[in-house]
Structure 1
Amino acid sequence: METEELGLTEVLQKIKMPSDIPFRPSVDIPPKLTDMYKLMKQCWSEIPNQRPTFPTIVNELKSMAGKFGDSGNLLDNLLRRMELYANNLEKLVDEKTQELKEEKKRSEELLYQILPRSVAERLKRGLRIEPEAYDCVTIYFSDICGFTTISARSQPMEVVDLLNDLYSCFDSILGEFDVYKVETIGDAYMVASGLPQRNGNRHAQEIARTSLALLKAIDTFQIRHLPDEKLRLRIGLHSGKL
């Protein structure tokens, strides 16, 4: 009735506006529907904790069913619709929760690619990251020999595929050693050992073993659009204070 008198826009505006007396529809209630009206008003409460849950609503409606006589079929239909709505709502919540978990997992994986896991975990917990000094670590650098020439013979997406395939291959190898991939810039690949987790004097050995494994992998690596082209890797290692 309020919609017909005030118009839809005005009704929506009144519902949204905060007020000591929330805007609610006026309803003509037959005497035998008084209990249902009370239940309906509880569902309108501005305070979420004061609203009845779906199981409570269903139970109360079922307890009212005997009072309606011929209207019982209408109430049964209403109950079925409510149960269907509740089930659909639960399914929707489960789906959205699963989507949220998957999105959170993707975000965490991206964060772990950018930052060391220990640093990322502290940031997620809202903790401060204190600067650290390392007495000695070993750094690995490499680039692709003749990469500029190869790029000149390739389409942009072919270059992207080449780097993605190559460094995906390298990334899979790093898990076998106590090293941390710092970053990739173009065809440059940087790996460190001895940080962020200290490993005593093993950092040079770990980087050396990693270098040999990557050299072995490059021998069998094949470029998709240049299958006859063999890649060569230029590697540099350095140990020192950081």
Structure 2
Amino acid sequence: MAEKQKSDLLLSRMLPLPVLRRLRAQRTVPAEAFDAVTIFFSDIVGFTTIAANSTPMEVINMLNMLYRLFDEKIQEYNVYKVETIGDAYMAVSGLPQRNGNRHASEIADMSLSLMRSLEGASVPHSPNEPLRIRAGVNTGPCVAGVVGTTMPRYCLFGDTINTASRMESTGEAMKIHISETTKKALDEFGNYEVESRGFIEIPGKGNMETFWLVNKLGDVEPHNQCRKLDDYDSNLLELLIRS
């Protein structure tokens, strides 16, 4: 029973729980279309340079600490972590369980929280080098489903994901770059501070007006309550042994 619980816990971290239940019951899970979700992408600014000047263990240790911080923070929101690829982090709200029109505000709140968590952070093995991320957000329809049998993955497909990725790659350090569709979704709530970036050329999309998500009006979360990267154990080997 204890080993089964460990196995269930591991599987629940690889696939969403509702999808896992259907997979067990039906053996296959059909792809599902979602009318509106909000996608978040982030990556580390200057990661290639940092990696070139670090040992492989230092890079793994840095990513492990950063994403443990992210994983802990997103549990406070109605958000599902899709995956990490290298230094890229992808999350979504609005699937696999729909949440009405809350998906944009959930991702916005999460994005602002993550940015605050990294204020003043530095590369763990190089304290004089700041650790900064770029973030991009987009809202729209998508299709999601389990792909593969040997190592099944819950994957998202559609132009909404591509645009969110472009928002991240064309953004700036420690800023949240959002699309017009996300801006319109946040306007429905009326308590977000958003600034127009103007029209810029987005690769594969053409000329688009994009925006910066600056703040949530009336947000009273104290900055000093956000955990810093240094709060985590920097010894990766010890973490692996304990787990």
TM-score by length of 2: 0.56
Give the equivalent residue in structure 2 for 1:136: 36
CA distance in 2, matches of 1:234, 1:137: 20
1:196 aligns with 2:96: yes
TM-aligned CA deviation for residue 121 of structure 1: 1.9
Note if 1:148 corresponds to 2:48: yes
Matched, 1:238 2:134: no
For residue 210 of structure 1, report the CA deviation from its aligned partner.
Answer: 0.7
Q: Given that residues 116 and 196 in structure 1 are in contact (C-alpha distance below 8 angstroms), is that contact kept between their aligned partners in structure 2?
A: yes
The one of the two structures with greater contact order (alpha-carbon pairs below 8 A, sep at least 6) is 2
Residue correspondence of structure 1 range 39-50 to structure 2 within 5 A: none
1:134–1:241 CA contact under 8 A, matched in 2: yes
Does structure 2 retain, via aligned residues, the 8 Å contact 1:135–1:241? yes
| Match of residue 64 from structure 2 | 164
Deviations 1:7-61, CA, capped at 9 Å, x for gaps = xxxxxxxxxxxxxxxxxxxxxxxxxxxxxxxxxxxxxxxxxxxxxxxxxxxxxxx
After the TM superposition, which segments of 4 or more aligned residues of structure 1 sit over 4 Å from their partners? none
CA contact (8 A) 1:193 1:206 kept: yes
**What 5-or-longer segments of structure 1 have no aligned partner?**
1-100
Q: In 1, Cα distance between the equivalents of 2:40 and 2:28?
A: 29
* Mapping of residues 22-101 of structure 1, within 5 Å: 101=1
Q: Which structure dedicates a bigger proportion of its chain to strand?
A: 2
Deviation at 1:228, TM superposition (A): 2.2
Return the alpha-carbon distance in structure 2 between the equivalents of residues 224 and 144 of structure 1: 13
> How far has the Cα of 1:222 moved from its partner?
4.2
Q: Which structure is higher in helix share?
A: 1
Which residue, 108, 122, 133 being the options, matches 2:22?
122
Code of the aligned partner of 2:65: D
Structure 1 residue 206 displacement after superposition: 0.6
Relative to 1, partners in 2 of residues 1:133 and 1:126: Cα closer, same or farther, differing over 3 Å? Answer: closer
1:181 aligns with 2:81: yes
Q: CA deviation at 1:126?
A: 4.4
Does structure 2 conserve the Cα–Cα contact (< 8 Å) formed by 1:166 and 1:221?
no
Q: In the aligned structure 1, how far is the partner of 2:59 from the partner of 2:17?
A: 29
Say if 1:136 and 1:239, in contact at 8 Å, map to a contact too. Answer: yes
8 Å contact kept, 1:184–1:190: yes
Residue 227 of structure 1: CA displacement? 2.0
Give CA-to-partner distance per residue, 1:111-149, whole Å, 9 cap, x none: 112211111122234454232111110000010000011
> Displacement of 1:226 after TM fit?
1.3
Q: Which runs of 5+ in 2 are unaligned?
A: 143-243
Residues 144 and 233 of structure 1 are in contact (CA less than 8 Å); yes or no, is this contact kept in structure 2? Answer: yes
Q: Which of 204, 209, 213 pairs up with 2:109?
A: 209
RMSD of the TM alignment (CA)?
A: 1.4
Corresponding residue of 1:218: 118
Larger Rg: 1
Q: Distance in 1 between matches of 2:62 and 2:72?
A: 16
For the Cα contact (< 8 Å) 1:219–1:230, is it kept in 2?
A: no
Give TM-score, length-normalised by structure 1.
Answer: 0.56
CA–CA separation in structure 2 for the residues paired with 1:116 and 1:225: 34
CA distance in 2, matches of 1:197, 1:185: 24
Alignment of 1:12-27 (within 5 A): none
Per mean C-alpha deviation after superposition, the further-off stretch among 113-122 and 176-185 is 113-122
- Which residue identity does 2:45 align to in structure 1? C
